[in-house]
């Protein structure tokens, strides 16, 4: 069965100068773009997810705790919510094969909570495409990447986390994410593997 590549939330909103910046976000976005340019042919599908918040209820706060509540980010229709320009350029005119948006009216960490323009969830789209293996990378490893990888594993997919194409909020939270993904049956790889 073919393998797909999932780019989780590689958006300016999570990069330096964004609304909810993750240190190293821009560097990872450029590295992901390079990977897409050189390795896209190895994948049956290339998938992007985006935080696309319209009114996500109590996900946003003026006094965020950075656990359950956050400053406004990924605001639907803004430049910061679009796919990072470097990745958009690497994807070219055809773009991604599947694009899902999540969190319009609620908190949503996992790409599997996202839907395409026709409202179809990511899990259904992968099943219809015959995908049973998924490589995962993106921003942030400790949050949306982790949630996406764990949901993919729960769905019965074979999952590889590309550790050098993701960045956590903190080194400790990244280590915890890798441990959780490994414990759930995921594999940790690098672009050199």
Beta-carbon contacts of residue 25 (< 8 Å; ≥ 6 apart): 14, 15, 16, 18, 139, 140, 167
Q: So what's the pLDDT on residue 38?
A: 96
- Measured between alpha carbons, how far is 95 from 90 in angstroms, rounded to an integer? 8
Full set of structural domains in the chain with CATH: 3-189 (3.40.50.850)
Q: So what's the pLDDT on residue 192?
A: 82
Render pLDDT for 180-192 as a digit per residue (tens, 0 to 9).
Answer: 999 999 999 999 8
Mean pLDDT across 161-185: 97
Mean pLDDT across 66-74: 90
Neighbours of 110 (CB within 10 A): 21
Question: Of the residues 9, 19, 51, 135, which is catalytic?
Answer: 9
Beta-carbon contacts of residue 30 (< 8 Å; ≥ 6 apart): 86
Q: Is 164 a catalytic residue?
A: no
At residue 52's C-alpha, the angle toward residues 31 and 83, to 5°, is 25
- Measured between alpha carbons, how far is 119 from 133 in angstroms, rounded to an integer? 23
Mean pLDDT across 101-116: 95
The single residue listed with the structure tokens 């949901």 is 151
- Measured between alpha carbons, how far is 15 from 138 in angstroms, rounded to an integer? 11
Is residue 156 left, alpha or beta, with left meaning phi > 0 and alpha meaning psi from -120 to 50? left
pTM score of the predicted model: 0.96
Q: So what's the pLDDT on residue 1?
A: 55
Question: Of the residues 15, 51, 102, 137, which is catalytic?
Answer: 102
Neighbours of 45 (CB within 10 A): 18
Render pLDDT for 10-23 as a digit per residue (tens, 0 to 9).
Answer: 999 999 999 999 99
pLDDT of residue 48 exceeding 60: yes
Q: Is 144 a catalytic residue?
A: yes
Query: Residue 68 — pLDDT band, cuts 50, 70, 90?
Result: confident
Q: Which residues pair with 87 in a beta bridge?
A: none
Question: Of the residues 15, 19, 137, 144, which is catalytic?
Answer: 144
Percent of the chain scored above 70 by pLDDT?
Answer: 99
Contact indicator for 181, 149 with CB cutoff of 8 Å:
yes
Residue-averaged pLDDT of the chain:
95
């Amino acid at each position: 069965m073919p393998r797909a590549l999932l780019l989780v939330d590689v958006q300016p909103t999570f990069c330096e100068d964004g609304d909810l910046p993750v240190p190293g976000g821009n560097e990872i976005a450029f590295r992901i773009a390079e990977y897409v340019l050189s390795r896209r042919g190895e994948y049956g599908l290339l998938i992007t997810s985006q935080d696309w918040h319209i009114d996500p209820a109590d996900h946003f706060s003026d006094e965020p705790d950075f656990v359950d509540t956050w400053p406004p980010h990924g605001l639907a229709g803004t430049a910061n919510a679009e796919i990072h320009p470097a990745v958009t350029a690497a994807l070219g005119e055809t773009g991604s094969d599947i694009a899902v948006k999540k969190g319009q009216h609620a908190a949503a960490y996992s790409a599997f909570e996202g839907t395409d323009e026709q409202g179809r969830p990511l899990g259904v789209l992968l099943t219809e495409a015959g995908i049973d293996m998924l490589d995962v990378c993106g921003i942030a490893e400790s949050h949306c990447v982790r949630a996406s990888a764990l949901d993919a594993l729960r769905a019965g997919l074979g999952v590889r986390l590309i550790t050098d194409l993701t960045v956590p909020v903190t080194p400790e939270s990244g280590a915890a994410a890798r441990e959780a993904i490994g414990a759930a049956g995921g594999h940790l790889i690098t672009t050199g593997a």
